[in-house]
Amino acid sequence: MKHILITGVCGQIGTELVRKLRKELPNALILATDIKTPPSSVLSFADFELLDVCDTQAVQSIIQKNQIDTVYHLAALLSATGERHPALAWRVNLTAFFDLLEISRNHNVKMVIMPSSIGAFGPTTPRDNTPNLTIMRPTTMYGITKVTGELLMEYYYLKFGLDCRGMRFPGIISSETEPGGGTTDFAVDFYYKAVQNQAATCFVREDTILPFMYMPDAIDVLWELAIADSNRLSTRIYNVTAFSASAKDFENAIVKKILNFKVDYQPDYRQQIADSWPRSLDDSLARNDWGWNPKFDLEKMTIDMIKNLRLKLG
């Protein structure tokens, strides 16, 4: 029986990952944790304990007590929040992650899965069809913690045999839990505003192109990479993407379904972050090594998002 620990379960990914893990592993111990109490949906799929990932003693005690063998480490500050609180981003995204890796190797954890991000790239990275292995000089604290986290994962795998696996997620769009503090959050906001017949204010220019993925695909990435045969993995960290779109492309896709939707573009400090990230990713390694293949493009996602948000928001 698997004993799984999820940190940061209250975030955008965690709230949906628990459902998938429970479906795939009905008999597993799934221990979801966060510094705040989760929505009731999480509690119906997993046990829950309050946990501050910066409290090393508490992390160690939870891992030991529950004989954890697999960790999904989702606790993190996103890019825009990280720019406002760089020291906290370092502590949560990196110091706590380093401590978690140390605890894992010393207490029989077999696998650690941690999402990285397109934020790990920087302005000197080739921005189109960005390769898996390329220049990585991020200029945000978020990016610095993500690229360093990636290096730590490779190190712990090579030196200690800890099976670390990560994926560089693009902007993730979900109808269930709203993101908090990311640079790609504008796209999610468009859908919420459109369904409530409100105009959106967008904090990046309309021609800002970034890679994106719909949450059901992101959950598949997390599951498929975790169960992939280790012998087939040619790297520990994979680029993954579904489609690239500009802010205007999102607006146009929504207007096809909700005719009166309007966006006011008012770029702020997040424009500079977006401009330092890839416009599109080469994820052929993930496709070749473990069969990654997204199901949603912008149009399919837009139909599903609007349907789900109408049900949710009435």
Give per-residue burial for 196-231: e unless 16+ CB within 10 Å, then b: eeeebebbbeeebbbbbbbbebbbbbbbbbbebeee
Q: With contact defined as beta carbons under 8 Å apart, do 282 and 203 qualify? A: no
Q: Which is nearer to ligand AKB, 18 or 141 (CB)?
A: 141
- Which pair of tokens denotes residue 111? 């696998």
Task: Please state the closest distance from residue 171 (CB atom) to ligand AKB, in A.
Answer: 5
Q: Which is nearer to ligand AKB, 104 or 183 (CB)?
A: 183
- Annotated active-site residue 238? The verdict is no
- Tell me which residue has its CB nearest to ligand AKB: 182
Identify the bridge partners of residue 202 per DSSP, sorted by sequence position: 265
Among 78, 114, 200, 263, binds ligand AKB (CB under 6 A): 78
Among 14, 38, 119, 149, binds ligand AKB (CB under 6 A): 119
Q: Determine if 182 is a binding residue for ligand AKB (CB under 6 A).
A: yes
Cβ burial of 1 (10 Å; 0-12, 13-18, 19+) is: exposed
Among 117, 125, 174, 302, binds ligand AKB (CB under 6 A): 117
| CA atoms of 167 and 240, how far apart (whole Å) | 7
CB neighbourhood size of 37 (10 A): 11
Binding residues for ligand AKB, rule CB under 6 A, total 10
Q: Determine if 118 is a binding residue for ligand AKB (CB under 6 A).
A: yes
Q: Determine if 79 is a binding residue for ligand AKB (CB under 6 A).
A: yes
Task: Please state the closest distance from residue 300 (CB atom) to ligand AKB, in A.
Answer: 20
- Catalytic-labelled residue, pool 142, 191, 214, 238: 142
Task: Please state the closest distance from residue 268 (CB atom) to ligand AKB, in A.
Answer: 14
| CA atoms of 131 and 136, how far apart (whole Å) | 11
Q: With contact defined as beta carbons under 8 Å apart, do 97 and 56 qualify? A: no
Q: Determine if 38 is a binding residue for ligand AKB (CB under 6 A).
A: no
DSSP classification of residue 231? G
Q: With contact defined as beta carbons under 8 Å apart, do 217 and 269 qualify? A: no
Q: Which is nearer to ligand AKB, 71 or 210 (CB)?
A: 210
Binding mask 149-178 for ligand AKB (x = CB under 6 A): --------------------x-x-------
Residues within the interface to ligand AKB (CB under 6 A): 78-79, 117-119, 169, 171, 182-184
Active site residues: 142
